[in-house]
Amino acid sequence: MTQDKISVAVAQQISLLDPFMLTQKPLLNSLAEHLVTTFHQGGRLFLIGSGPFGAIAGLVGQTFLHRQTLERPALPAIALTNDAGLATFLASDEQGSQLFSRQLRALATDQDTVLVFAGTNLTPTDREALDTARQLGCRAILIASEQAELADTRTDICLSLPSDSLPRLLESTLFIGNLLCTLVEGELFGI
């Protein structure tokens, strides 16, 4: 029974990543090139994710700050998901949807990029962050399930994952975040 579950999970992940890489590879390359340009121009990368995607945003942010595959200087990437105090404070004032947008208003400029990781649903917090990014002149990037309802959501780049399975979406999102870091490192530091 365990072997069957392992085989099914691996098959699901392969069936998600194969079509994604075939259809979304140009967008992924475009995003990596944009991040290289952002860092060259002194801009920063702000990473956002709600629920379990917040953990993914934190992990991807750490790889940009520390390293993915080689020793190198830190890249200016900030995960906005780690401020539990602010989250609690805003929630107590019934302003929880402002968690990311308030941080962006305080920190972001038009030189920055905002990358939102989402699953099959964009939370009000995610939507408000994307709207705020656009208002500030930041590039707004979304990585989400192709089943996500994106009405009235404007992004510069949207990478769509062909799945509605939360475990597969989380795994794929982390894979894509790590791959982006590897591509950016390679371009900036010659590896």
Query: 3-class secondary structure for 16-61?
Result: HHHHHHHHHHHHHHHHHHHHHHHHHCCCCEEEEECCHHHHHHHHHH
Q: Are 83 and 109 in contact (CB under 8 A)?
A: no
Under the banding of pLDDT at 50, 70 and 90, the label for residue 191 is low
- Give the contacts of 151 (CB within 8 A, at least 6 positions apart): none
DSSP of 104-153, one letter per residue?
Answer: HHHH--TT-EEEEE--SS--HHHHHHHHHHHHHT-EEEEEEETTS--TT-
How confident is the model over 94-112, as pLDDT tens digits? 544 567 888 899 999 999 9
CA dihedral 140, 81, 147, 127 (to 10 degrees): -50
| Model pLDDT, residue 140 | 95
| Model pLDDT, residue 149 | 82
Alpha carbons 118 and 135: distance in angstroms, whole number: 20
Q: Where in the chain are the domains?
A: 2-189
The answer, yes or no, to whether residue 1 has pLDDT greater than 70, is no
Amino acid at 18: D
Alpha carbons 60 and 6: distance in angstroms, whole number: 25
| Model pLDDT, residue 90 | 45
Q: Are 178 and 63 in contact (CB under 8 A)?
A: yes
Is CATH 3.40.50.10490 the right assignment for the domain spanning 2-189? yes
Q: What is the mean pLDDT of residues 81-89?
A: 57
Which pTM does this prediction carry? 0.88
- Give the contacts of 50 (CB within 8 A, at least 6 positions apart): 118, 123, 125, 126
| Model pLDDT, residue 43 | 97
How confident is the model over 142-181, as pLDDT tens digits? 999 988 887 777 899 898 888 888 998 999 999 999 999 9
Token couple for 190: 């010659």
How confident is the model over 104-136, as pLDDT tens digits? 999 999 999 999 999 898 888 899 999 999 999
